Structure 1
Amino acid sequence: GSTDQTAASAEITGAEILKLSPNRGKGGAMNAAVQYIQTDIVAFIDADLGQCAEQVGLILQPIINEEADLAIASFPPAKKKGGFGLVKNTARWAIRKAGQIEMVSPLSGQRAMNKEVLQAVTPFKEAYGVELGMTIKALQKGYKVIEVPTTMTHNETGRDIKGFLHRGRQFIDVLKVIKAESGGNKT
């Protein structure tokens, strides 16, 4: 579903590409990819990281060393003003409620986990609920979830119509995850 030539760039490097039609969104793409994962440790990384992707080792290390079951990259403060914190703070509240942990970057897409956790948190929620659903499921199932400080950056949305629409869709999906995970629907 990407329109930014990510697949073409990855293909040039020799990466195996999974092409889905129609566009299934991030969660749908991740769900489709799970059946192809053959490693004991997996990392999910957003395509917009650019050179910051070199820091993936920071989230892999706690998994390799068995210090955590799910490691999530936390980002430094945003460089440009985005929203008003409603989406992030709602996600933080849901995570705190699920597992008594505080998170800086609750919606970070940069995550590493062992195969056991991967199997426990799938299928993933669709759309913008992927990360929050993954974290809540892992915490509810007793897995150790940590945040790893990084200096990663990514494409930020601003305080314009496009940015507010993006955060509006995010907020709706975050609320859907909270409702599903608190209402006894643990899938």
Structure 2
Amino acid sequence: MTPAKIAVVIPAYNEEQTVAQVVRAALQLTPDVVVASDGSSDRTAQVARDAGAHVVELNPNGGKGAALHAALNATDAEYVVMLDADLIGLTLEHLNILLAPVLAGRLDMSIGIFEGGGLMTDLGNKLTPHLSGQRACRRAWLLHVPRLGQERWPEPAITDALKAGGVRWDYVELPNLAQVMKEEKRGFWKGVGYRSRMYVDLLSYGRRKKKNLKD
């Protein structure tokens, strides 16, 4: 039996401090690691390239959905693992936890939840688990999610597709994994503003979906 072809796709925006360690961990799973730098103004693209990733550069910034869509189109793998670029403590074990139930056919999508990585990241992830950026699934299914590339934040569109399509999915715990908080990366007030805009965009997904259906 031919081994399944797997890729790791990583949307990234100004993540030069953390993207290399995420790429290096991903390369332990597969040589097919794609970073989509979403209009980054720092060295994200070069740092990811130096770490061994294939890099797609988007200009101007189009949002995480556009970056994810571009990364998916830069590989022909059957299965993909999606990762955020600001993870701390990522290991091969975490990637296998995400991928194993999908490869075994028990799930169509696994969604990773932080456990024991830090109080704030654990809490935020558990309060909004449907917004997790750590997932595994078949690439073809993800590419057919309506409006995936048009949404700045693609998670609501993916959740919608999971509910509508009778897809088997579940959460899996990712022990001792954390994420750099936006307030830490961008400074407190800029981070709060960025997070607020993100939640406004996420909460308005339903309205955009209805408008799109009418149009």
Instruction: Using structure 2 for the length normalisation, give the TM-score.
Output: 0.66
Q: Structure 1 pair 170/49, CA: closer, same or farther in 2 (3 Å)?
A: same
| More helix by percentage | 1
Alignment of 1:52 onto 2:90: yes
Number of residue pairs matched? Answer: 169
Alignment of 1:69 onto 2:108: yes
Deviation at 1:68, TM superposition (A): 0.8
Equivalent position of 2:30 in the other structure: none
1:2 to 10, 13, 17: 13
Q: Structure 1 pair 170/135, CA: closer, same or farther in 2 (3 Å)?
A: same
| 3-state SS, counterpart of residue 174 of structure 1 | helix
Of stretches 153-162 and 47-56 in structure 1, the one that deviates more from structure 2 is: 153-162
Equivalent position of 2:157 in the other structure: 133
1:41–1:115: 8 Å Cα contact kept in structure 2? yes
User: Which stretches in structure 2 are left out of the alignment for 5+ residues?
Assistant: 1-11, 17-42
Deviation at 1:163, TM superposition (A): 3.5
Q: Distance in 2 between matches of 1:77 and 1:183?
A: 41
1:46–1:110: 8 Å Cα contact kept in structure 2? yes
Deviation at 1:149, TM superposition (A): 0.7
1:41–1:114: 8 Å Cα contact kept in structure 2? yes
| 3-state SS, counterpart of residue 202 of structure 2 | helix
Deviation at 1:157, TM superposition (A): 3.8
Cα deviation digits, residues 68-111 of structure 1 (max 9, x gap): 111110113773558x97x986xx6xxxxxxxxxxxx2211111
Equivalent position of 1:146 in the other structure: 170
Q: Structure 1 pair 153/12, CA: closer, same or farther in 2 (3 Å)?
A: same
Q: Distance in 1 between matches of 2:62 and 2:44?
A: 16
Equivalent position of 1:24 in the other structure: 62
Q: Percent identity?
A: 27
| 3-state SS, counterpart of residue 18 of structure 1 | strand
1:179 to 207, 210, 215: 207
What is the identity, as a one-letter code, of the residue corresponding to 2:60?
P
Q: Structure 1 pair 157/36, CA: closer, same or farther in 2 (3 Å)?
A: closer
Alignment of 1:42 onto 2:70: no
2:115–2:174: 8 Å Cα contact kept in structure 1? yes
Of stretches 51-60 and 72-81 in structure 1, the one that deviates more from structure 2 is: 72-81
Q: Structure 1 pair 142/185, CA: closer, same or farther in 2 (3 Å)?
A: farther
Equivalent position of 2:192 in the other structure: 164
Asked which structure has the greater RCO (Cα within 8 Å, sep 6+), the reply is 1
Cα deviation digits, residues 100-149 of structure 1 (max 9, x gap): xxxxx22111111113421331541422x311221221221111121111
| 3-state SS, counterpart of residue 100 of structure 2 | helix
User: Which stretches in structure 1 are left out of the alignment for 5+ residues?
Assistant: 93-104
2:118–2:178: 8 Å Cα contact kept in structure 1? no
Q: Structure 1 pair 173/78, CA: closer, same or farther in 2 (3 Å)?
A: farther
Q: Which runs of 4+ in 1 moved over 6 A?
A: none
Instruction: Using structure 1 for the length normalisation, give the TM-score.
Output: 0.75
Q: Distance in 2 between matches of 1:148 and 1:81?
A: 19
Alpha-carbon RMSD: 3.1
